Structure 1
Amino acid sequence: MNTPRRSSIAAAPTSRWPLRISGLLAALAIGTPAIADEEFFEKQVRPLLVKHCFECHSGAKSGGGLSLETAAGWQAGGESGTAIVPNKPDESLLIDAINYGSMEMPPADKGGKLSEDEIAVLTQWVAMGAPDPRSGMDTIGGMSRQQAEAWWAFQPLPDFAGEPTSEQIDALVNAESSRRSLSMAPPADKRTLIRRATYDLIGLPPRPEDVDRFLADDSADAFSKVVERLLASPQYGVRWGRHWLDVVRYADTAGENTDRPLPHAWRYRNWVLDAFNRDMPFDEFARLQICGDIAMNSGDGNARAEGIIATGYLAIARRFGHDIDKDIYLTHEDLIDNLGKNFLGLTLGCARCHDHKYDAVTAEDYYALYGIFASTRLSFPGCEPQGQPRDLVPLLDAAAVESLQADYAAKLASYEQQTQLLPQETIRLRDLATSATQLIAESQVDEGQSVALWTGEMGSDASAGKRCLTLRRGETLQLTVLPNEGHGADTTRVELEISRIGSRAAVWNVANLISTFASSGPAMADNGAAWCLLDVTDGPQFLNERKTMVSGQPSLGGWAIGDTPLSLVNASEDPVSVWTSLPGKSFFLHPGHLRNVAVAWVCPEDGEYQIQGTLTDSHPAAGLDGIAFRLEHIAAPKYGEGLVEIGKRLSSTTMQPPVPPAIPVAYAAVDSSPVDAPVQLRGDPEQPGDAVPRRWLSIFGGERVGMDGGSGRRDLADRIVQHPLFARVMVNRIWQNHFGRGLVATPNDFGTRGDPPTHPELLDWLAVQFRANGYRVKPLHRLIMLSAAYQRASSVPEELSSDMPRHNAIASAAPAAADPENLWLSHFSPRRLTAEEIRDTLLTASGQLDYSFAEAHPFPPAAEWAYTQHTPFNAVYETDRRSVFLMVQRQRRHPYLALFDGADPNSSTASRQATTVPTQALYFLNDPFFHAQAAAFASRTSGDEQIENAFRVLFQRAASDSEVQVAERFLASYPGTPSEKWSAFARVLMASNEFLYLD
């Protein structure tokens, strides 16, 4: 593509082409009726130019400087002069090129030579004088300037006089319905209304007592009190924050080919929820997400931290490919595309490769924004070739960080000074033990087997093979586990009990160490004795590195030197599955490669002692050789006393390795060196064009940004929130989340490819009120929810039986026939609960919902990550908290959220789609979580009014007589115990449409 022949049709010709006009050309010129110049161009010429030429010769940077996109473009010519000489095809470089004269256009790799018919058309066009009706002198992207300046979404917000009321919403809605002769549905009954409002504002069902209170309240402001109570709930932020997380495609993983975790992204998620609870002005909310690190840099510690956390909005942009730095241009596209859709309702990402085909956005506009984010440093999540995360942003100021690091450095120096004495102590203790060690027992433990300490018999347990020894104070019993040759699957469960017999009986058991293991090791006092965790390969060295949350499991704690040798415990009552299944309430030793690990017991006083125990290979692996053990009596009191003394020193602050300072960090964005980005020709970063200054969109003025020496994000944020699109887009989202459909049905696209507003005056009126209320969301909720439009019923035919619950009714055919999509809001549109609402409602019904806010997910420590494109990260973490706190993974979506149409974390979800698929029904038949919630709910509904209570809790209403009869027949005929019957009945109710749908 770099040779003169193939680079541009404007290259200088070396010879004139011989005029070759085929018989078809003669027919066009002579044998056909005259064709109007413009019609000929539109029907014959323009399609050929678009099909064969525009790929290279259009857009912000056309090949060879020649644009065939407008008449002005080809008239200006290319780098080598004029390409078309009107009326003279034999002197036109364009005709020379398509005939493969001095050059070949289109080149072979772009489709090759045109057909004879196509060449004839272009030749005829030039011979006719190259008529071209495309003025093209004032276009912006895919629109003329005149069209763009008149586009409805770009217009200033109008003025509306008077105090805003919900009645004004109704007047504007009713006017559109009246024009279409649509009759309005009556008001919804109060039970339907409180259920609708509660799910809308907090995403949970109303409590029976809240329903009773509302039904009993006959005051004019009864519903207003319900709305205020819900707006004050901390669960409001959970519900409405989730809407925003949909829009910004929040995720807890990066999305590149190993899909690495983002351990600190939760801070942004929780900030969003809290911002909605505080009713933070939405313009401030937007500014902080775009430039919070800059805007709050001079604030106090909390304000500065909040500003940094908010820029998680930018940092969570998806990463792509294998080496994400090489594909950073795709991350910038994701970021720019998301920003445009979220705040402006514009598909800015469509201008990466060329001018937007439909909207007033040019490729140069795109790269003007690209430069802003190329001047911003995003936290790095890690990737396979570049390792672990970096560039996480401290939430403390520089002085505080420096002070913490200096304190840590001083403690580390003291610790290292003390530990230099330990090798000498190890040698001394080894020498003491050399001549005083007596072997008591030793044995091989084969793969997956258990062995009693004394008998060496396979399968023996700790109650067998007791043995008595006479011990003196300070003498040591040392149980050592050796790795054999096949080190690897060597996790060994130790059951060891030592009993003093006689008048002063006492018992010591390693099981008693489990509850305080992580906090008191590696030297643990126990009723006068001491337990010591040791590497005894070259002499006794304490396992002095504390391990918390081994393999990301909170119940696993340990002490080690490096990774191994290791001693660990499972403090949980239940087994934990890691590299193997570790039984509950168990103590383990794991040797290292050629390193022996031991637990030593130092005798507290002279006496007779009985020892019993069992060792079990807890990590069976085919082909490996298990482990071996030996039990030794070290009859040198000074050895045991030396261990106790070192243990005391290890317990002191100077002998414990200092913990690095816990400097809180965020997955966030900060400014880097400012740079203007070049246009990437056809979106290819390896084909840079001219640099574009950082600026605002040209249709909106194109003002330069970053003139203060920064990235320009602060200026960009100001331009965004001041534009009328900003208010229009957000109020449309709020309306959509109340009615199921926005006034603009394409909430991420207010451009020419989106839908026009159904109620344009209402959209503008709401935007004006939003702005007038300081861009606060809660006042808009009040206006919308107190309107008659919101409080209408989903229409029901009058002929339906009064005994039939409303949820079983079929929507009236008359409004549906006239307005099948309910565009004109003659009634309320029912909807299915979202995935989060279904799960949270199940947990509410079972009484197991934890309303507290979660923080970090239990990801494995970053130092342990070894994810590859073939073994990417994948996990599902169970929780009883609300579903917004589920870990959201990009590559392998959470199975439940994917099943019930949760948001796609890979792209902005402007509105949820509700699908109905067979696997959803199978969920209610088979899923363990669903069955567990149904069983827990059934256990809560007892007594003589079980059926009535079940309907009140699940449906917020009384059961009808017919429903009671059906329930009684079901319970009488279903097999099993009373508990099993009620669990089955609960599953029926919790899988019903009334439970899953909202009127």
Structure 2
Amino acid sequence: MSVLKNLARGALSLSLAAVTVVFAADPPPARAWWAYQPLASVGVPEVKHRDWVRTPIDAFVLAKLEEKQLQPSKDADRAAFIRRATLDVWGVIPTPEEVDAFVSDRSPQAYEKLVDGLLASPRYGERQGRRWLDLARYADSVGYTNDEDRPNAWRYRDYVIAAFNDDKPYDRFIREQIAGDELWPEDQQALIATGFLRYYPDDSNSRDLYLKKYDNTTDMTDTVGTVFLAQTVGCARCHNHKVDRISQKEYFQLQAFFANTSARDDIPAAKGTYELEYDKQQAIWQEATKDIRAQRKAVLDEVRAKAEAHYISRFLDNTRDSLNKPEEQWTPDDRWVNNRNKIYRTEGNLADYLEDSQDPADKERLARYKALNDQLKKFDHLRPKRGTSNSISAITELGHPEAPATHLLFTGSLDQPRDEVQPGIPAILNVSKKQLAIAPTQTSSGRRTALAGFIADSTSSPLTVRVYVNRVWAQYFGRGIVNTVSDFGRAGEEPTHPELLEYLANRFVADGWSTKKLHRQILLSSVYRQSSAYREDLQSADPDNKLLGTFPRIRLDAEQIRDSLLVASGKLNETRGGPSVFPPIPATAVTDNRQGRYDWRASVDESDYNRRSVYIFTKRSQPYPLLNTFDMASADVVHSKRETTTTPLQSLVLINSDAVFDWSRALAGRVLSEAGSKQSEQFERLYRILYARSPDKFESNALAQFLNQQEAAIRAQLPSGQFAVALPVGLKNDPTPSSDPVRLAAFVDLTHSLVAANEFVYRY
């Protein structure tokens, strides 16, 4: 019997009476750090150039500029503004018609109408949802060696998108994701919300389930600390934090809030379109394969007892002890281990016995079993659509209030447990010194409810509010007021505009934790409206643009590039929600198919190829190549901030990607159909679609020159009378009198060149 098992046996059961967690006094030196202070009431500063101030935000920024004798930049022109705002709020470029409508609207409320329209669109939720999924380390697969699908994950993705579109108060959003199962057990959306905790990378082949439990609770602890509190709490797992005043004991007290959490993937989903279709298709498959499956089961039944023993023998001693124990004797640890085993145990695990057995009779059984498997595969086309399910995944507490014991671990090693600890918040984070009441119920420890209540309270945890408004600010300006968006500790950067951060935090709470109102304030500010034109005086005085005297030019992120290409080409499929889709990927991207790990089969429905990027299947072992090239979020950890790299591969992908070229052909066809036969109007339409502006005289001449040169180059390479060239697609009429295919092919190349240009892939 292992040390951990003995500790588990001796764990005290929680009574159903409320337990109060009392916090230690916070040492005075730590209290001096700005991030751990209560929210402060701040006044709007007085500035000289009041005419520039449209919102209180502007006064805070302008005051800093005036201290350095600097002036803000003039307003961006309207076409540039709507392109910028649409990319930021929707994640796609606007149409020329949307640009025209805004530019021609001279009413005093023009900007307000634009911003309100952007925030009211479901595209807003898709864009904001993707930002949150970065933090939630969202993926549609498990990770590690086998990287199996998670067919329920899309429900969490849709929950997040809907939450932003509905402007769900952020404090409610927090509570649902940390403790939805405890607070609203009958609300399916609240259960789905706990996917925030559930979708950690996992290893279905783990042989030490006690270690796996430790890994999972560590992941949840670190994720909550990073996302909501911007604290590097994980640094205190192996030793006292070297920078922030968080002890190792306090780390494990925080981890104790998650001690009783366990995943479930089999909660029945309400019967909607996808669930009914799944049930229908599953019934068809089961009926067609029932004889084969019965024969396969019969083979295993001949050796089931041996196979079960062989399967359990591969686990470590402490795990085997739990799996062999009768249910009536289970401790809280045993309960977790057995539930975890149920998630990943399959008939295929038992068949491994036949693979390992040296008995001739078992070799014959293995041959029969494999032959039946081959027969079964012939019916794969009858299975439900990949990624669909009739159940949901969630974090639960398995119907029991008694939690496994949590111990301080010497050097963070599971094999070296020390004193048992109870749930608690690091003293440095509990600004108000609030006493946290934990109220177990008949079915739950109540621990996560208490934690969620603490985090979602601006009085006890002002960090929560500061961290979130800072994340939103960073979306728009490329850097946060605190540039280290997930580290508000002493190792992080101090705020450039501390009073502005306090103002935004206080206003956010006063506005009912409304995310849309926060976005609206920023979008309507003069700071956001500034031109991005280069200024020598600002470059000299503020090279990193920390004072925001000009609007920062930022390369679009991966999803913005792909989705904007779809909009430009006229091919965007606006279908929303549902199981994730599989656009085609280059054959060269499939380098290894061991155990189906790289099983990327393009969706049967080709319209799925043009869905928004947020709906593409996120496979941890094989990210979608086009997005991965442009720095899409890693799904293995909390992805706090999108990196902006510049690599030759990015240019090569835009030039050589079949998908980008196909979209360029569609864009060429769209332009020729909409602009007619006049070359100048074709150039005008192309620029306005891609860049929201008209080409100047120099550019028009350069375009014409390129077109002529490309036509000549293509013609020189083709045998006389043969035109094996890529033509525009989707032409609705004859754009030229001659319909010269070589000229049309040259126009495709021109279009493709402009798609790959910096101006398209940057927001300015």
Relative to the length of structure 2, the TM-score reads 0.71
Inter-CA distance 393–256: structure 2 relative to 1 (3 Å threshold): farther
Mapped to 2, the partners of 1:706 and 1:676 lie a distance apart of: 16
Q: Counterparts of 1:279-358 in structure 2 under 5 Å?
A: 279-297=167-185, 299=186, 304-320=187-203, 322-323=205-206, 325=209, 326-358=211-243
Q: Name the SS of the counterpart of 1:690 in structure 2.
A: strand
Mapped to 2, the partners of 1:767 and 1:874 lie a distance apart of: 44
Residue by residue over 1:403-431, the C-alpha shift from the partner in whole angstroms, topping out at 9 and shown as x without a partner, is xx9xx99xx99x999xx9xxxxxxxxxxx
Residue by residue over 1:119-139, the C-alpha shift from the partner in whole angstroms, topping out at 9 and shown as x without a partner, is xxxxxxxxxxxxxxxxxxx99
Please tell me the residue identity of whatever aligns with 2:198: A
Inter-CA distance 780–877: structure 2 relative to 1 (3 Å threshold): farther
In the alignment, is the contact (CA less than 8 A) between 1:261 and 1:873 conserved in 2?
no
Q: Which has the larger radius of gyration?
A: 1
Residue by residue over 1:587-643, the C-alpha shift from the partner in whole angstroms, topping out at 9 and shown as x without a partner, is xxxxxxxxxxxxxxxxxxxxxxxxxxxxxxxxxxxxxxxxxxxxxxxxxxxxxxxxx
Mapped to 2, the partners of 1:566 and 1:295 lie a distance apart of: 43
For 1:670, the equivalent position in structure 2 comes to 396
Deviation at 1:915?
0.7
In the alignment, is the contact (CA less than 8 A) between 2:597 and 2:621 conserved in 1?
no
For 1:838, the equivalent position in structure 2 comes to 561
Inter-CA distance 565–748: structure 2 relative to 1 (3 Å threshold): closer
Please tell me the residue identity of whatever aligns with 2:658: P
Deviation at 1:695?
2.4
Mapped to 2, the partners of 1:154 and 1:844 lie a distance apart of: 45
Inter-CA distance 815–676: structure 2 relative to 1 (3 Å threshold): same
Q: Counterparts of 1:693-842 in structure 2 under 5 Å?
A: 693-699=422-428, 700=430, 701=433, 703=435, 706-709=438-441, 710-722=445-457, 723-795=461-533, 811-842=534-565
Q: Are 2:80 and 1:192 equivalent residues in the alignment? A: yes
Mapped to 1, the partners of 2:756 and 2:36 lie a distance apart of: 46
Inter-CA distance 704–156: structure 2 relative to 1 (3 Å threshold): closer
Residue by residue over 1:15-36, the C-alpha shift from the partner in whole angstroms, topping out at 9 and shown as x without a partner, is xxxxxxxxxxxxxxxxxxxxxx
For 1:151, the equivalent position in structure 2 comes to 33
In the alignment, is the contact (CA less than 8 A) between 1:279 and 1:777 conserved in 2?
yes
In the alignment, is the contact (CA less than 8 A) between 2:86 and 2:94 conserved in 1?
yes
Mapped to 1, the partners of 2:593 and 2:658 lie a distance apart of: 31
Deviation at 1:200?
0.8
Mapped to 2, the partners of 1:903 and 1:852 lie a distance apart of: 23
Inter-CA distance 666–570: structure 2 relative to 1 (3 Å threshold): closer
Mapped to 2, the partners of 1:316 and 1:697 lie a distance apart of: 25
Mapped to 2, the partners of 1:749 and 1:293 lie a distance apart of: 29
Q: Are 2:421 and 1:692 equivalent residues in the alignment? A: yes
Mapped to 2, the partners of 1:321 and 1:755 lie a distance apart of: 39
Deviation at 1:355?
1.6
Percent identical = 36
In the alignment, is the contact (CA less than 8 A) between 1:931 and 1:987 conserved in 2?
yes
Gaps of 5+ in 1: 1-137, 380-390, 421-559, 572-656, 796-810, 860-867
Mapped to 2, the partners of 1:898 and 1:416 lie a distance apart of: 41
Relative to the length of structure 1, the TM-score reads 0.55
Mapped to 1, the partners of 2:554 and 2:658 lie a distance apart of: 26
Inter-CA distance 926–220: structure 2 relative to 1 (3 Å threshold): same
Mapped to 2, the partners of 1:858 and 1:174 lie a distance apart of: 46
Mapped to 2, the partners of 1:566 and 1:237 lie a distance apart of: 39
Deviation at 1:676?
3.2
Please tell me the residue identity of whatever aligns with 1:873: R
Q: Counterparts of 1:934-953 in structure 2 under 5 Å?
A: 934-942=664-672, 943-944=676-677, 945-953=681-689
Q: Are 2:704 and 1:968 equivalent residues in the alignment? A: yes
Mapped to 1, the partners of 2:488 and 2:380 lie a distance apart of: 58
Inter-CA distance 774–146: structure 2 relative to 1 (3 Å threshold): same
Task: Identify the match of residue 851 of structure 1 among 561, 574, 593.
Answer: 574
Residue by residue over 1:796-840, the C-alpha shift from the partner in whole angstroms, topping out at 9 and shown as x without a partner, is xxxxxxxxxxxxxxx222201110110001110111111100000
Deviation at 1:237?
0.4
Q: Name the SS of the counterpart of 2:408 in structure 1.
A: strand
Deviation at 1:850?
0.7
Higher normalized contact order (CA 8 Å, seq sep 6+, divided by chain length): 2
Mapped to 2, the partners of 1:570 and 1:254 lie a distance apart of: 24
Gaps of 5+ in 2: 1-22, 46-52, 295-370, 583-591, 603-608, 716-741
Please tell me the residue identity of whatever aligns with 2:226: K
Please tell me the residue identity of whatever aligns with 2:611: R
Mapped to 1, the partners of 2:638 and 2:389 lie a distance apart of: 32
Q: Counterparts of 1:91-110 in structure 2 under 5 Å?
A: none
Structure whose residues are more often helix by fraction: 2
Structure whose residues are more often strand by fraction: 1
Q: Are 2:131 and 1:243 equivalent residues in the alignment? A: yes
Mapped to 2, the partners of 1:844 and 1:858 lie a distance apart of: 18
For 2:330, the equivalent position in structure 1 comes to none
For 2:304, the equivalent position in structure 1 comes to none
Inter-CA distance 314–935: structure 2 relative to 1 (3 Å threshold): same
Mapped to 1, the partners of 2:24 and 2:447 lie a distance apart of: 26
Q: Name the SS of the counterpart of 2:146 in structure 1.
A: coil
Q: Name the SS of the counterpart of 1:367 in structure 2.
A: helix
For 1:874, the equivalent position in structure 2 comes to 598
In the alignment, is the contact (CA less than 8 A) between 1:170 and 1:788 conserved in 2?
yes
Inter-CA distance 216–374: structure 2 relative to 1 (3 Å threshold): same
Inter-CA distance 279–765: structure 2 relative to 1 (3 Å threshold): same
For 1:75, the equivalent position in structure 2 comes to none
Deviation at 1:328?
2.9
Inter-CA distance 569–715: structure 2 relative to 1 (3 Å threshold): closer
**For this pair of structures, how many residues does the alignment match?**
579
Q: Are 2:695 and 1:959 equivalent residues in the alignment? A: yes
Aligned-residue RMSD, C-alpha: 3.2
Mapped to 2, the partners of 1:758 and 1:161 lie a distance apart of: 17
In the alignment, is the contact (CA less than 8 A) between 2:143 and 2:620 conserved in 1?
yes
In the alignment, is the contact (CA less than 8 A) between 2:41 and 2:502 conserved in 1?
no
Inter-CA distance 981–151: structure 2 relative to 1 (3 Å threshold): same
Mapped to 1, the partners of 2:537 and 2:232 lie a distance apart of: 38
For 1:608, the equivalent position in structure 2 comes to none
Q: Are 2:410 and 1:681 equivalent residues in the alignment? A: yes
Task: Identify the match of residue 899 of structure 1 among 615, 619, 629.
Answer: 629
Deviation at 1:857?
3.6
Inter-CA distance 566–765: structure 2 relative to 1 (3 Å threshold): closer
Deviation at 1:980?
1.1
Deviation at 1:919?
0.8
Inter-CA distance 254–759: structure 2 relative to 1 (3 Å threshold): same
Residue by residue over 1:28-78, the C-alpha shift from the partner in whole angstroms, topping out at 9 and shown as x without a partner, is xxxxxxxxxxxxxxxxxxxxxxxxxxxxxxxxxxxxxxxxxxxxxxxxxxx
Q: Name the SS of the counterpart of 1:678 in structure 2.
A: strand
Inter-CA distance 919–724: structure 2 relative to 1 (3 Å threshold): same
Q: Name the SS of the counterpart of 1:184 in structure 2.
A: coil
In the alignment, is the contact (CA less than 8 A) between 2:152 and 2:393 conserved in 1?
yes
Please tell me the residue identity of whatever aligns with 2:518: L
Q: Are 2:268 and 1:394 equivalent residues in the alignment? A: yes
In the alignment, is the contact (CA less than 8 A) between 1:676 and 1:694 conserved in 2?
no
Inter-CA distance 569–278: structure 2 relative to 1 (3 Å threshold): closer
Inter-CA distance 565–395: structure 2 relative to 1 (3 Å threshold): closer
Larger CA deviation: 885-894 vs 925-934: 885-894
Deviation at 1:566?
8.2
Q: Are 2:162 and 1:274 equivalent residues in the alignment? A: yes
Mapped to 1, the partners of 2:569 and 2:617 lie a distance apart of: 22
Mapped to 1, the partners of 2:66 and 2:110 lie a distance apart of: 29
Mapped to 2, the partners of 1:284 and 1:957 lie a distance apart of: 42
Mapped to 1, the partners of 2:43 and 2:156 lie a distance apart of: 39
Q: Are 2:652 and 1:922 equivalent residues in the alignment? A: yes
Task: Identify the match of residue 614 of structure 2 among 877, 884, 892.
Answer: 884
